[in-house]
Structure 1
Amino acid sequence: MSDTKRSANNSGSKRSLPSWTNSRENESDNSAKKPTLDGQGEKSSDAETPNKSKVQNENGGNASSLESKSFNKLLEGVVFVLSGFVNPERGMLRSRAMEMGAEYKPDWNSDCTLLVCAFPNTPKFRQVEADCGTIVSKDWIIECYTQRKLIEIDSYLLHAGKPWRKGNGSLEVNEDKKPSVPKKLLKHVEREQPSASTASIKSKGKDTDVARKCFEPSEVKKWAIDDLNKTIQWLESQEEKPDPGELTKIAAEGILTCLQDAICSLEEKQDIRKGTEDWMFLPRVVEELAKFDVVGNKGSLSKEDLRRQALDCKRIYEEELNSLDHERKKNSKVNKEQRSKTGRTNAMSSGAVEYDSDETIEMTEQEIDIAYKALSSNICHL
């Protein structure tokens, strides 16, 4: 009987499908399992193609919406505090973390779950450490924001304490479990890349000759020293000042961060000013690089050539700033030792300060002998 019904259906114009095949939840399964009875059955499948495309487009839009919604909740439940950062970097970190769903607090309290710290062993670091709070470097915030997903936090921890987010942290299962590339390896690769910059610049002719002369290593070293001094002066003029002992370190880090922002802009084929427009103080090297990044200017360099030149300059800056920091620490140690010696000398002679040389009595040997005997006699009678 079933054969009779099948042949009857085949003889008709088209086989009508059951109503349940149009339901959304069974749509994909039915299209996969539907038997092809003859040529007419194939035409029926082709007729459904536009509907499938429409469903796929709708699903694509929903996926994009879900991805955006998920990004806004990456750090949901995180209550964070920033320490050791100055604007514009401080503002950038705060806005990025809040964009991913975190809550900002100006100072650490019992509600906070995470401290984003620039340097270890600062007063704020020790406070949070004593409170068993979790402390992380800024790189974790930046990586989560850049990759638009929750990166594994372990490799960025400065101190592991209480849970770094409130709630059950359901999003944590989506963390990137891939091991992070060691920072030393990244620096090694970064230093190898600029080696091709000289050959690239030489191949460009007169315009690149100007650039090569502009970025002579000896000249770039002078810029690094000058930038460090100017940045320290700028930091000292701000209302929110770092600790005096951290000024040089923070200034150097700010210079290198600004230079790295310029490099990132070049890597993304954007104007170099795009990555540094929020900075209140620009290093000299960034200003000089920007002169060769002008559209329509014959003296401009390609983004790739500029990126390589910027990496060369960053390497020189790093070496020079590290050298200056080492020299500063060495001088500080010497000064500390000298102060310690001076303190001991002053302590030894502090008793003599109370005596005035004008009150000293000059005595002959006979007078001294008489005084000695008188003193001895008095002591014996005691």
Structure 2
Amino acid sequence: MGSSKDGEDESGKKKHAGTSRNAQKEPDFSKLLDRVVFVLSGFVNPERSTLRSQALDMGAEYRPDWTSDCTLLVCAFANTPKFRQVQSDNGTIISKDWISESHRQRKLVDIEPYLMHAGKPWRKNKELVESDQDQKKERKEHQKQVERSHISSSSSAAVEVGHLETTNKQFSPSKIKQWAMDDLTQTVSWLESQEEKPEPSEMKSIAAEGIVTCLQDAIESLNQGNDITGVAEQWSFVPHVVNELLKLDVRKEAWLPKEQLSQLAIKCKKIYQTEFARMVSGDKGKRQQDTEHHSKTRSDDGQYDSDATIEMTEEEIELACRQLPGICG
């Protein structure tokens, strides 16, 4: 019985030891981001609120702005003022998906695929708690992240250059001029199809004004860090150029920062305004020539042209009939 009891004791101890090891492998969910001080950039509610809550659930601390004690920037897109500020401060920057995935899986997933910039350690070092060995391990892992980030940044830079070249070809001045002419024609046709429509003489200028206003709405939306989708939904008729910008804004494989999309939209707007000024002024000049032509109803010898309205007395009509018996009967 003694050996049996010893065996039970040993079995119990082994089971207890195994349970302890499992507990060590599965850290407390509420402490996954312990000693992480994060800032959010480029997000609007409700997404901003959701990300903030997820990070707080995992034990992180939130700051509204980047300060010296912050360790991590969760950023929606690169090249924003806050992105450049943290980058210059050598802070670590990640995409939102690292927070979302870690929260969903209830464990910290590998951060490397989500790094936008590898800077200083994204977790504060424990003071007087971590051993020298743990600190060396963390620094070594961080150095690997920095090296991988440099490689990833080089690849991303090459891809971005390729995207910019493709975009420049797609948005060449000659194409933008053609879009301007097509947009004006289509917008005029759309206006003409409406029950309440402008005067024919004002149709082109009103169509041009509407297109430029829609473009300006897109520029302002991009400057605020928002998508163009909301702009497109507010307009009954969306110009071709805004639809082309919208494709770039939502196409992830050819993604461009909002700042660059805004500059591209401004370039389009300037070309559109130049083309519209030329087309509208040319149309007005043609109408003026037609008016001058029709207003000239007499020639130098005093005779009336075929478009003039001639008023005759009854005596003049009777005299004309006598002179032209075949016509008057």
Q: TM-score, normalised by structure 1?
A: 0.38
Q: TM-score, normalised by structure 2?
A: 0.44
